């Protein structure tokens, strides 16, 4: 009698796709980095939670507004070492109040 080793069941043609929200967040994070936004780990986690709770169209709008608010607040801040924090504070406040 031959004993067969168990094999993992993997149906052919089964592909697991990333959710639209996850793909959108990955693209957002790359774009934010390219725009000079220094997102903290906590910022990324919080944004992910907020975005997943919204329909995809509204989530896109939130993320666009988030970057715009951050960049505007950075431009308005005169002191260089305070620019990122001013942008972060304004963007997070705006997102918190809109959801």
Do the domain assignments include residue 63?
yes
Do the domain assignments include residue 7?
no
pLDDT for the residue 36: 92
Token pair in block for residue 45: 């986690």
Do the domain assignments include residue 6?
no
**How many C-beta atoms surround the C-beta of residue 73 within 10 A?**
20
Please say whether the beta carbons of 29 and 65 come within 8 A: no
Q: Note down pLDDT in tens along the chain; length 99 residues.
A: 556 555 554 545 544 456 888 999 999 999 999 999 999 999 999 999 998 888 999 999 999 999 999 999 999 999 999 999 999 999 999 989 987
Question: Could you list the residue range(s) of the whole structural domain that residue 44 is in?
Answer: 20-98
pLDDT for the residue 98: 83
Per DSSP, helices labelled H in the chain are: 20-34, 41-52, 56-76, 83-98
* CB-based contacts of 76, cutoff 8 Å, min separation 6: 86
Task: Determine the straight-line distance between the first and last CA of the chain, rounded to whole angstroms.
Answer: 64
pLDDT for the residue 41: 94
Decide: pTM greater than 0.85: no
Alpha-carbon gap, residue 30 to 36, rounded angstroms: 10
Do the domain assignments include residue 13?
no
């Amino acid at each position: 009698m031959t004993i067969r080793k168990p094999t993992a069941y993997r149906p052919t043609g089964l592909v697991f796709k990333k959710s639209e929200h996850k793909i959108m967040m990955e693209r957002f994070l790359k774009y934010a980095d390219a725009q000079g936004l220094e997102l903290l780990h906590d910022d990324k986690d919080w944004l992910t939670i907020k975005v997943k709770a919204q329909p995809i169209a509204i989530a896109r709008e939130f993320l666009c507004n988030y970057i715009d608010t951050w960049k505007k607040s950075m431009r308005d801040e005169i002191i260089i070492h305070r620019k990122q924090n001013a942008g972060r504070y304004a963007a997070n406040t705006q997102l918190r109040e809109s959801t």
